[in-house]
Amino acid sequence: MRSLLSIRTRGVRRAGAALVLGALLLAPATPAAVAAPAAAPLPADRHQPEGDPDVLRDAAPRGLFVGTAVDMAALANDPVYRERVGAEFSSVTAENVMKWETLQPERGRYDFAAADELVEFARANGQRVRGHTLVWHNQNPAWLAEGDFSRQELRAILREHIHTVVGRYRGQIWQWDVANEIFDDEGNLRQNIWLETIGPDYIADAFRWAHQADPRAQLFLNDYNIEGVNAKSDAYYELARQLRREGVPVHGVGVQGHLGVQYGFAPDTTANLQRFAALGLRTAVTEADVRIPMPADTVELQAQAQGYSSLLTACLRTPRCDSFTVWGFTDRYSWVPDWFEGEGAANLLDEDYNPKPAYREVLETLALASGRGRD
Ligand code: XIL
């Protein structure tokens, strides 16, 4: 099996990031110093058992929030996209605009314009927000990535960023991906500026600082290739257990769910999520998509539906797996073709917003789960 890690470290990564950043820079600028959006209670679940739901958010059983990553350029420029994000989803995640390179492009200068827009959109549409992400090895601004800081300096920088960002959205972000992709596929802590400069304590500290800044936010570890039981998910299991034993405020583990039909789907995703639940943790599917070597044929589209289903049913069968998020919902806007050469068609809707077999599968599974009265 080709490892996702090796694919992802190819040069296209930078090109993709530059494209997205370019699009963001074209968006109308708002001064960074505008007031933070007003805090309000998190939107409640609007599940209606008697309804005839034909959109994902209403089909979902009580207590399961169905989310999507949001591309802010598409949200601003494509009215159909905007309408569907509001109609179909009860949760949103910033695809890019809550990453370091967007939020703190220069040291000490924050730009919350795009992130504020998303939080405001979510408020207007009764949606919860998943914050993504506070510690990562990618999409860090050059001043940070190449800064050559001392341990003490970098720790102070990280603490300050987390306090500022989490504090700004205090009470408005439901779940934060605090630490993203911190293990490699062998289950070793990933070499990144945080580990190299601060040491492994950066992980517990990041969670503690996020908790100080917003005690109500649920704080997550998040990674890819941890759908099934394997060396990498074992490493998360051990880390989560250890952090909880030490009283570190870790509340959940997010399984990203970037799958490909050519690799098949882990048969033990339910068992994997359930072992985290048994530790007292929440779980979530945070970035589901199922890519296909192009061009996609009808059998692959059917296989794709099974891939989505494997993630969704595992979540539905796990206590306290309360968010299922897709990483984009239409093939019109997808990170996949930019990052995985020759692959695409990874989303629930096609480029013209027509439902694919995967959409129907997800909708039907949600409706079945609602009928069964999951609680
Ligand atoms: C991706 C975005 O979708 C792209 O637009 C960007 O160019 C690169 O990052 N794992 C993550 C996400 O945690 O933040 C990544 O998002 C996809 C993989």
Whether residue 81 is predicted with pLDDT greater than 90 in this model: the reply is: yes
- Rounded to whole angstroms, the Cα distance separating 163 from 167 reads 5
Strands 258-260 and 343-344: unpaired
Residue whose pair of structure tokens reads 């882990």 in the numeric block: 266
How much distance in Å is there from the Cα of 133 to the middle of ligand 1?
10
Residues with CB under 6 A from ligand 1: 16-17, 20, 95-96, 180, 256, 287, 335
The whole-angstrom separation of Cα 318 and Cα 175 is 18
Residue of 101, 287, 300, 361 marked catalytic = 287
Residue listed under structure tokens 């009215």? 79
pTM given for the model: 0.90
**Catalytic residue flag (residue 287):** yes
Output the CA 247–ligand 1 centroid distance in Å. 30
Q: Which domains are present in the chain?
A: 70-369 (3.20.20.80)
DSSP state, residue 172: T
Read off the pLDDT of residues 45-67 as tens digits, 9 standing for 90 and up.
Answer: 877 665 557 999 999 999 999 99
CA of 150 to the centre of ligand 1 (A): 28
CA-atom Rg of the chain in angstroms = 19
Q: What is the arithmetic mean of pLDDT over 223-234?
A: 98
Residue 4's pLDDT is: 42
Per-residue pLDDT reduced to its tens digit, 187-208? 999 999 999 999 999 999 999 9
The residues with which 293 forms a beta bridge, in sequence order, are 343
Per the CB < 8 A criterion, the answer to whether 120 and 40 are in contact is no
Contacts of 145 (CB under 8 A, 6+ apart): 193
Query: Is residue 374 scored above 60 in pLDDT?
Result: no
Q: What is the reported pLDDT for 50?
A: 59
Q: What is the pLDDT of residues 162-179, one digit of tens each?
A: 999 999 999 999 999 999
Q: Are the CB atoms for 311 and 266 separated by under 8 Å?
A: no
- Residues 95, 101, 181, 343: which is the catalytic one? 181
Adjacent-strand bridge partners of 288? 326
